[in-house]
A and B are shown apart, each in its own frame.
Chain A
Amino acid sequence: MDLNLKGKRVLISAATRGVNRAIAQAFLDEGAIVAFCGRRARRGEANPSNKDVFANPMEGDGVEEAQAALSAHGTVRGWVVDVGYADRVATWVEQAAAWMGGIDIVVAGASALGGVPRNRTGWDINYNVDLMSAVTMFDGALPWFREAGGGAFVALSTITAIENHAFGEGGLSYGAIKAALINYTHQLSIDYMKDGIRANCVCPGPVYIDDGSWGFLKDAMPEYYQANLDRHPAGRFGKPEEIANAVLFLASEKASWITGVNLTVDGGFTRNVKY
């Protein structure tokens, strides 16, 4: 099936590594143009932002390494942006749209994940990174969607927003704020279908990546890691490509009648019946 993504202009946040990086690469492999961002310019750099803004201990490629690697797959450019700041996101969207000559697809995938502290700062981090960066990306892309005669918005949520998964003392703000993203995406789908803009959500279950959350947890919390693996009906965690495939399909014209959906992609991990 040809998704007809060739030449589509794709904006994707926080794509230097992990699931979002796989999504960026998959779009490039389909012939799309990709503008992405990440917090660090280079691997190993300290967090350039206020240390209170984010405390993720994981490391990985910076924007330069990601752009170099992704360039082998197509036309791509990265910006150094901390999406915890809405004004910086808005500026990046403008710059990316100018570089691509417009925007057809937005993938809002940035997340502070579930390891944030359980305090007001933790809530602020998830609110700014997981929710407001997506809100700002949509608002910034809206004039470009309209100019293109339509568009597709895909937000990355989490299964933790639809089913409780205890994660020690932290992480409650992660799923709760991602729920706001599901609600908001649905609202967008109703309001903008008349403009040919579709809005959908993808809720990934656990995905294993060496330098991702579950790679980190495998070493840092081996019992927690194993308990989740043991309860997974597939006997394994997901692969980033398996999330990317769902995102690409929802973003493509083949999903022209799908909007307002929250698609769980978890290999059967969640127990709730998907009515």
Chain B
Amino acid sequence: MDLGLKGKKVILTGGSRGIGRAALEIFAAEGCDIAFFSRNQEQVDETVKALSAQGGKVIGEALDISDLDAYAAWLKSAADRLGGCDIFVPGASSSGSGATGDWDICFNVDVKGTVIGCETLEPYLEKSGAGAIVFMSSTAGVETFIVPQAFNALKGTLLVYAKQLGQALGPKGIRVNAVSPGPIAFPGGNWEAIKGAAPELYDATEAQFALGRWGGPDEVAKTIVFLASPASSYTTGTNVVIDGGYTKRVQF
């Protein structure tokens, strides 16, 4: 199946490792031009080098999303340098910075980062004719997860906002969807740290996967790319759960 991604211009935030990095690799392999940022310059440089091998344009820079004005300015600059924006994946999350329990940090990074990103790039996405946004939510937004904390609650916020935005931007030809990964393991990720610090939580979590194993970033990334691509041209306002059967609710 041709996803129709060749030549599409993708902006993804927080892309030097984990799910974001995996998505960038697929977008690049599909022939997209790409812009991304993350906090660590070394990781950014390494990612730029790896993605550039695919032959498309790659813009990667070090930026801390907590400065929301600088973030908005970067998005605009990135879209201008790419010559437009067809796909936006606001992937930067407080989870990656270990702040899942901090209400204000989580609100700023996960919620405001997503909201401001969509508002900043809306004119570019409208011009695209195939504009697509993929939100990063979490199974923690839909089912009880560890303890009451900001990350879980505010991922719920993003699911509602994705639905609202899908309705509001539909007339402009922009689709908005969300993915909700369950616990995902990768070297240097949160769950690797939890495995060492709280092995009981790690084992109890592992026991909940119907598929009997942890998921990897690539398995979420493929769904992000599919939802973002013209192959999903009539899908908007939905939330795709990718969790290996971790959650137990029926998703009506």
Contact = CB atoms under 8 A, between A and B. Distances in A.
Interface of A: 120, 123, 127, 131-132, 135, 161-162, 164, 166, 172-173, 175-184, 186-188, 190-191, 273, 275
Contacts of B161: 172, 176
B165 A187 contact: no
Contacts of B164: 164, 166, 172, 175-176
A273 B112 CA distance: 30
B125 interface: no
Interface SS of A by simple majority: helix
B103 A164 contact: no
Interface string B80-118: 000000000000000000000001000100011001100
Given A172-B161, A187-B145, 6 more contacts: A162-B160, A166-B167, A176-B160, A183-B141, A184-B152, A275-B250
Given A135-B103, A176-B164, A183 B153 contact: yes
B156 interface: yes
Contacts of A179: 156-157, 159-160
| Interface size class of chain B, counting residues whose CB lies under 8 Å from the partner chain | 20 to 34
B144 A186 contact: yes
A164 B112 contact: no
Interface SS of B by simple majority: helix
A221 to B, nearest CB: 18
The listed residue with most A CB atoms (<10 A of its CB), out of B112, B160, B161, is: B160
A175 B162 CA distance: 11
16 contacts: A123-B112, A162-B160, A172-B164, A173-B115, A176-B164, A178-B160, A179-B156, A179-B157, A179-B159, A180-B153, A180-B154, A180-B156, A181-B153, A183-B141, A187-B152, A275-B252
Contact of B156 (A135, A182, A190): A182
B153 to A, nearest CB: 4
A188 B153 contact: no
B163 interface: yes
B211 interface: no
B162 to A, nearest CB: 9
A186 B153 CA distance: 9
B174 to A, nearest CB: 15
